[in-house]
Structure 1
């Protein structure tokens, strides 16, 4: 206590400086005094900033690329008058802070001060502002509280211009609204993972990953030397700057090559992405950065569920409809919104989702990995068959690849079969055979020879090898019938389906009598056992119709009229039971058109094939093989019916379409050859 004071008399108090509270007298129990606050003279004025007042982190040294983003920041801050606020946003680890540090370091001659504040929480913002106040007036360091110093800095910012304040890693726009609302001039550069919520307070600049060449440059700058497989490693890391930095520093310190790091990443992504070199901030690892974000989404559990499910699919072009079954629409929308707001995913106008491949890698780890994998499998298998296009196969292929050798479950096996079926109908028979053979081997090993999935895989293999190994195909389907009878019974649906498949195979191999006889017996027995309207019966009827069409073609005079009558009867039944647009109805229409052609009713065959085309729908992004086949049939029928000009016009259009859609495929070559021959055949006389 400075100064001196004297007191005399009963109950008197002497004090120097300042007294906050004093209690005296007979009932007094305490005395409380506080030192007086003595402000230095400079505290009563807001100072000018000293020259070259700069406080920036040392991150610009690792900067590569980003020329468009730097130009965008230049343009944004060129505006004059009023406060300018720019929010740079993107996924954690994507290089927002490095970009901000690089740009700000280049502006120290244009702004003063250039000040960096870590702004994750409101308390950190207050601390950073207090640090600015002390830098402006060091004499106030031990005089004012942090809160008072922060207020002092806000007052200074509000009464001065020409400064640049970087608020790094802002968690929520709400945290900075009070500060921004009090400032009329100056420049704020904000970095944040929050992609939304900035309307009315800041313009936004999204930051994406580095380009491949830039990622390689960053890696080699840290690693110290050029190395093999760097481009592949950077690609596997999704060209995410923090992941590239982390990998390069780790490889340099551990003295391992990029290929070794790739192998470590494949075996244990979560552990690898949590490791960093000595002397590097342990909080700045990919795993840690994203875990912080997911902790902020803990109040929306569905967000993490979605992230863990889509982690098993391809990273781009994920239809929002694929995750719709996980919850009701409003909850799905809210979970996706929050994930996008925190830059964990991107939502696109075409109703698709994108997610970084490293976010996927970490999301595929954990105790519930197998469970979420099965959920991802179920969601894809649950898509309607008519909707399985190139988008579906992209995600299904990635999903199946994750499961191979790791999770040989029923879901994986069914998915492998489904992917094989897609390839079988989309011009890749070799790939289809490979997948179906793998599914059959896996099913027999994991589920046993009597599993329904084993039966299905065996059936698919038989269909793939019927041209190259017809004897094996017959043996496989005969075995299916025997197994189905033993396991499920003579009159079970699976048994009838097994006989249907065997009958169709026999027909396709040219055994018309044996195939038709088996198909007819099977259909009659199924109708007695299951009733008249069961889908199993309709499938059996379709094979009966195929048999009658083939019998009519083999001996038109003897069988054509009866074949037409039999198929017409089955068609009427199928329309009544299954509707006019079912797959069975289309099959029967196709067979009936063939029989009418055989009888010489070309006009009827053309009408039936045209009606088939009107009802036939092509899965999106899939090869329209059935439609092309039907139109080729119409060309041939038009030629036979004496309409060469109409046939030629259709054939030329089909030839151009085939060359565009089926280029490079074996099936496409067959289509082109057949169409080219037809065009030549019906060429006008003056064309030859």
Structure 2
């Protein structure tokens, strides 16, 4: 950490603060070096920790995902539900010592519930100074003139003295004693062999131009970034374009292979060639790292937020080559990033094996979508829709609702109400509303989507049948089982005729129809259809896919109602263990499987065990779905019944 020898006083203050308390928040302006100070302290005290873990905490999803990823290093078995996995990690850390968590660029909302209340050490870096209720606070200020000049001249060899001349002091002053700007100046001189005087001259020339455009928010960083970009271009022609692309993504770890998804259209040819040539791509990244424009760690690329802001402001779009550039509408870097994300994002959002990759791309999709102009509403809508479906499958229903609502809005604005993409987004949004318990609104949207699809696509189109299936499921959720049965029966017959018996959509219809049959008391017919569905789903999806486990849950529930309790319990115990492992304890599918198993326990007379599990289910549903959701109400009612059977009425409310 050679660049932070100038922070010895701050490191000593941090040492003292952590002796008093084991939670410290470092706060200060962007670019002042909060993160580097935290990392420098961790580096110097590495022998005190068995585990040191850095978490990007600028938003809730990133913070939760970062903490959840620590589970593997701790040897913990968790499902794919990020919130639940993070809770398991926090609990585990409370029971051990010699660990350090660094929450980088944190906000109070993002880290709520993620800071272990005891043992270990926690460092937070933040622009927000208001952390008194959480941690001891320490402000990170600009460097002193002498420390700033020393940083500029340091080469990495701490054994020798460095000489600070008047030019170096003048350069430090010109750069505002801001560590980010100073480090870029030092890196530039080291990479190019230029002197501080050369760099000062380049910065002065740039700032003279800036006086004519006083809207610049960070003039010091503006100057250093401009100089670094020029130097990068002189070393590798593609490097400036590559960092411009990276700057238009989220301030989150960027997978290295995302850049290889950049297409040839709308970008300089040298960039397209470089990202598809592994050696040239590695060299371009090396140039950017040497000039302190990016940081490469653990297989991911990171760019400082302040540097990204400056690059985005000055370089919103790639250059348009050729004489025809004046006649072609300009494509922004955000659109280039959106195209790359569209190519890189897995198409199967329902496949748990793809979820880790989607999670890495997720913050970039949501950030880029916000920057896309109205002309790119279709691209934004499709990207947000894919992330919304991923959030739905992960059980993050409120986030799914937000993403799918925005996706529908942007598609509707760009394509109109009756375009197939708009209707798909409308149908997906309706499905999430139903799962959230907003039955009337969800059913109304399903009816709109179905009416439009019937009129435009015809009664037997796959999308029309999807809308019919989803509307039938909404009817069943509302308790209208007779109409739901009629519609499910019609959809199942059509899907068998149009798509075949083993098509995924047909299996969905079989499952849903069997559920309605069971609710209407036709248990033998329901059992036969569930068995057929489970066998076919296992063939198509495998034993551990959530759809297979859901089908097993439904069959076990019917077997229990038929009195085959031993068989039902064995089947459900196996399914519950698998769904917990894959989806986590708080996922709605897991809670459904737990409910089925708890009901089987109650039917076998094991009321105490059933009560304990129903209490756990109720607590989770209150936390995940809210007190008024129909599933929460059902859990409360079931627990009250068991309490009454045990002779303790009223405990459910407690």
- TM-score bin, normalised by smaller chain: 0.5 to 0.7
Give the alignment partner of residue 524 of structure 2, picking from 561, 573, 578: 561
In the alignment, what sits opposite 2:495?
526
Indicate whether 1:454 and 2:422 are aligned: yes
Indicate whether 1:311 and 2:247 are aligned: yes
Give the alignment partner of residue 626 of structure 1, picking from 586, 589, 604: 589
Alignment of 1:202-601 (within 5 A): 285-296=223-234, 298-299=236-237, 301=238, 307-320=243-256, 322-323=258-259, 325=261, 330=278, 333-349=282-298, 351-361=299-309, 362-363=311-312, 365-367=316-318, 368-378=332-342, 381-382=345-346, 385=349, 386=352, 387-388=354-355, 393-403=362-372, 406=374, 408-421=376-389, 424=392, 429=397, 432-466=400-434, 470-551=439-520, 555=521, 559-601=522-564
Indicate whether 1:616 and 2:579 are aligned: yes
In the alignment, what sits opposite 2:114?
none
Alignment of 1:40-119 (within 5 A): 67-68=9-10, 99-102=147-150
Rounded to whole Å, the distance in 2 between the matches of 1:544 and 1:659 is 26
Taking a change above 3 Å as real, the CA distance of residues 328 and 620 of structure 1, as seen in their structure-2 partners, is farther
Rounded to whole Å, the distance in 2 between the matches of 1:621 and 1:396 is 24
Q: Deviations over 1:71-130 (max 9, x none)?
A: 999xxxxxxxxxxxxxxxxxxxx9899845256999xxx979755889xxxxxxxxxxxx
Taking a change above 3 Å as real, the CA distance of residues 95 and 317 of structure 1, as seen in their structure-2 partners, is farther
Unaligned runs of at least 5 residues, structure 2: 1-5, 14-36, 41-141, 155-159, 169-184, 263-274, 319-331
Q: Is the 8 Å Cα contact of residues 413 and 442 (structure 1) preserved in structure 2?
A: yes
Q: Deviations over 1:569-625 (max 9, x none)?
A: 222233334433444433322221221232232323322322323443767899533
Rounded to whole Å, the distance in 1 between the matches of 2:474 and 2:605 is 35
Q: Deviations over 1:440-492 (max 9, x none)?
A: 33322211122222112211332344477645533432332333334334433
Taking a change above 3 Å as real, the CA distance of residues 316 and 609 of structure 1, as seen in their structure-2 partners, is same
Taking a change above 3 Å as real, the CA distance of residues 310 and 663 of structure 1, as seen in their structure-2 partners, is farther
Alignment of 1:170-209 (within 5 A): 171=189
Give the TM-score taking structure 1 as reference length.
0.54
Partner-residue secondary structure (3-state), 1:580: coil
Q: Is the 8 Å Cα contact of residues 97 and 168 (structure 1) preserved in structure 2?
A: no
Partner-residue secondary structure (3-state), 1:616: helix
Q: Deviations over 1:300-329 (max 9, x none)?
A: x3x556534443433133344655655669
How far apart are 1:412 and its partner, in Å? 0.7
Partner-residue secondary structure (3-state), 1:476: helix
Partner-residue secondary structure (3-state), 2:301: strand
Rounded to whole Å, the distance in 2 between the matches of 1:539 and 1:567 is 11
Number of equivalenced pairs: 458
Q: Is the 8 Å Cα contact of residues 317 and 333 (structure 2) preserved in structure 1?
A: yes
How far apart are 1:635 and its partner, in Å? 3.0
Taking a change above 3 Å as real, the CA distance of residues 378 and 678 of structure 1, as seen in their structure-2 partners, is farther
How far apart are 1:672 and its partner, in Å? 9.4
Rounded to whole Å, the distance in 1 between the matches of 2:362 and 2:493 is 38
Rounded to whole Å, the distance in 2 between the matches of 1:510 and 1:659 is 20
Give the TM-score taking structure 2 as reference length.
0.56
Q: Is the 8 Å Cα contact of residues 313 and 399 (structure 1) preserved in structure 2?
A: yes
Rounded to whole Å, the distance in 1 between the matches of 2:594 and 2:276 is 43
Compare CA radii of gyration and give the structure with the larger one.
Answer: 1
Partner-residue secondary structure (3-state), 2:251: coil
Rounded to whole Å, the distance in 1 between the matches of 2:307 and 2:627 is 36
Partner-residue secondary structure (3-state), 2:250: coil
In the alignment, what sits opposite 1:639?
602
How far apart are 1:398 and its partner, in Å? 2.4
Rounded to whole Å, the distance in 1 between the matches of 2:405 and 2:626 is 24
Q: Is the 8 Å Cα contact of residues 443 and 454 (structure 1) preserved in structure 2?
A: yes
Unaligned runs of at least 5 residues, structure 1: 1-63, 74-93, 119-166, 177-188, 194-241, 266-271, 277-282
Taking a change above 3 Å as real, the CA distance of residues 486 and 354 of structure 1, as seen in their structure-2 partners, is same
Name which structure has the greater RCO, CA cutoff 8 Å, separation 6+.
2
Taking a change above 3 Å as real, the CA distance of residues 541 and 561 of structure 1, as seen in their structure-2 partners, is closer
Rounded to whole Å, the distance in 2 between the matches of 1:664 and 1:450 is 34
Q: Deviations over 1:375-400 (max 9, x none)?
A: 25415643752344765544443233
How far apart are 1:664 and its partner, in Å? 9.2
Q: Is the 8 Å Cα contact of residues 607 and 642 (structure 2) preserved in structure 1?
A: no
